[in-house]
Amino acid sequence: MLYESLLLLAVLFLAGFVFVGLTHDATSGAMRLIFQIYLTVVAAAYFIWFWLHGGQTLAMKTWHLRLVGIAGQPVSLSQAILRFVVALPGMLSGISVLWAFFDRDRQFLHDRLAKTKIILTTDN
């Protein structure tokens, strides 16, 4: 998760640089809310795109992990969106991580709800 966070931070930094470059403002009133929504959409696009195209983010490839459906099939768009929407508050609050300690398969709460799972791959 730490490696994933570093990569996401780089993506969000670049996206923020583009936003501020175009708007010249990201802190006042409504523009701050728009900026936060924009960064959330960028994060969603990052994860969902990678999950739909091979099931692996860059960090997941490094650690030989892949996101699949519960039967081992590629995740669908609706599963990827649901996983992100549920993972965001779950990971920020720590509930999803805590859930994994008690889950019989050590899966996160957002994986249970989206009917997905993370598997170890043998890819190099």
Is this structure's pTM higher than 0.95?
A: no
pLDDT one-digit tens code per residue, 48-89: 999 999 999 999 999 999 999 999 999 999 999 999 999 999
Which whole number is the average pLDDT over 9-35?
92
CB atoms closer than 10 angstroms to residue 35: 19
pLDDT for 48: 98
Which pLDDT score, from 0 to 100, does residue 28 have?
A: 85
pLDDT classification of 1: cutoffs 50, 70, 90: confident
Say which amino acid occupies 27. T
pLDDT score of 27: 84
Per-residue DSSP letter, 56:
-
Nearest-5° Cα angle at 91, 119 to 78 = 60
Is the model's pLDDT at 124 over the cut of 60? no
* Average pLDDT value for the chain: 94
Q: Is the pLDDT of residue 107 over 70?
A: yes
- pLDDT surpassing 80 at residue 30: yes
Distance separating alpha carbons of residues 49 and 57, to the nearest angstrom: 9
For 27, the token pair is 């802190």
CA–CA distance, 40 with 113 (Å, rounded to integer): 20
Continuous segment of H or E residues that includes residue 71? none
Give helix then strand counts, H and E, for the chain: 6, 2
